[in-house]
Structure 1
């Protein structure tokens, strides 16, 4: 058999085989990653096959004097074409998106847009430990008994801001009071649609008018501090009740201490 006939037959056979590899690779690229492809679909294998094809065709087409050169050129061209035919051109798979960064991908997230840093459950919704309908990160009264009806602050009734105390006979907050109000401010910032009442109360020591003014000044002092922590002043209403709404007797130190208080409630 002549050299040209042999080369052409070899080339034709390898073209058929390479075409099959490339076709199979193309069909499978959309369904699986390149690491899952069959060995004969790998670009390296296709490149080797293409090199044999190109070399065979180059050898067959060349004259007796330049058959080595033709084979070399054909091998290089065939290897390049073969590798390109079997290259994985399928688009790279994008990782699942988690737009709000809460650890639950968008496809499974039933509460998209959760604020950064808020703890969520398996479906991406903020935790509500007491089940009152107000998420923990907004709840001013965590631990509400099951079934209790609460306001937008998560409280059954107005919240007494315990340990929010003032300097003696003044409206100046103590350092401990400021630390407590920092936590209140954080939850109010996280609950921007809620307006609040801040009520000041005193014991019965001193004149009624003096206690009225002092209670108003203390309520205003709390609002000013919360505003300084990022709570919009338009969301707060301050009221001073003086000594008019005691919750305990004014005849004992303990009772008077309970009456000197600041309360936080929903302003409807």
Structure 2
């Protein structure tokens, strides 16, 4: 190649190279992302321009005996430098924080991963335990337990009397109001799948012992059947009828007999 053509080669290469560099520098200063770069800012194009420039310079600065070698060395060096100049060296964006259980606390800070959907949590992602009894609110059948009290797996100090779980007169058929209360019991039992429960039926002293024993068993069974219909596994429940044998109040008054007609829920250990 004649030295006279080297100027034309260098001039053309410089135009291409300087145009790309100028555009790249302009976009970089404006905060443009790599994905918005023009085609002439691609590392391949910059490498090609750098190869032309380097090859031309290497050729022009070499003696007549080593022109080809100088051009090759210059082209290689220029291509490498050009590609490096246009390479995207901006740091990779940090990964977005993850919140796998959707409780509002990022996984990196979540000390109780896997919280069920919709459960209220504290600042470290653990379910709230308002009374501090060790049983989370969403599983606690007895909220508001006094501080320091020992509780069972239901969150209760003792068996829970299911207030207002009543039956039709002289039968084991649950009233509509009773079913509404048992819906809440079932919800918490479903949230606390590791606990098994005893369901105990009790009556007042009106009627024979044998009749009351049978009626109390049927009422306990009725409660268990309803809970099972709401999804609580039957093998987690045990029913017992005590009849009139365990009164909690006097059977001599209407108020006392009403207290004695009850269903209790306790932990089945």
TM-score, scaled relative to structure 2: 0.74
8 A contact 2:20–2:41 mirrored in 1: no
- Kindly tell me: are residues 39 and 165 of structure 1, through their superposed partners in 2, closer, same or farther at Cα, counting changes over 3 Å? closer
Partner SS, residue 264 of structure 1:
strand
Measured in 1, the distance between the counterparts of 2:175 and 2:37 equals: 74
Describe how 1:132-171 pairs up with structure 2 within 5 A. Answer: 132-171=133-172
Residue 39 and residue 235 in structure 1: after superposition, are their counterparts in 2 closer, same or farther (change >3 A)? closer
Aligned to 2:73: none
Q: How does 1:201-240 map to 2 (within 5 A)?
A: 201-240=202-241
Contact 1:39 1:45 (C-alpha < 8 Å) held by counterparts: no
Query: What number of residue pairs does the alignment pair up?
Result: 237
Post-superposition CA distance 1:85-140 (Å, at most 9, x none): 34578656432111111111111110011111111111110111111000011000
TM-score scaled to structure 1, two decimals? 0.74
For 1:249, the equivalent position in structure 2 comes to 250
Match of 2:70 in 1: none
**1:43–1:87 CA contact under 8 A, matched in 2:** no
Match of residue 175 from structure 2: 174
Alignment of 1:107-126 (within 5 A): 107-126=108-127
Q: Alpha-carbon deviation of 1:45?
A: 11
What is the CA deviation profile of residues 198-247 of structure 1, one whole-angstrom value per residue up to 9, with x for unaligned ones? Answer: 00000001111110110010000000100111111111111111001111
Q: Which moved more, 1:4-13 or 1:97-106?
A: 4-13
The answer for unaligned runs of 5 or more in structure 2 is 57-81
CA offset at residue 47 of structure 1? 3.8
Alpha-carbon spacing, 1:7–1:126, altered in 2? closer, same or farther (3 Å): same
Residue equivalent to 1:76: none
Structure 1: runs of 5+ lacking an equivalent: 25-33, 62-80
- Residues 172 and 218 of structure 2 are in contact (CA less than 8 Å); yes or no, is this contact kept in structure 1? yes
1:107 to 1:201, Cα distance in 2 relative to 1, 3 A: same
Secondary structure of the structure 2 residue equivalent to 1:246: coil
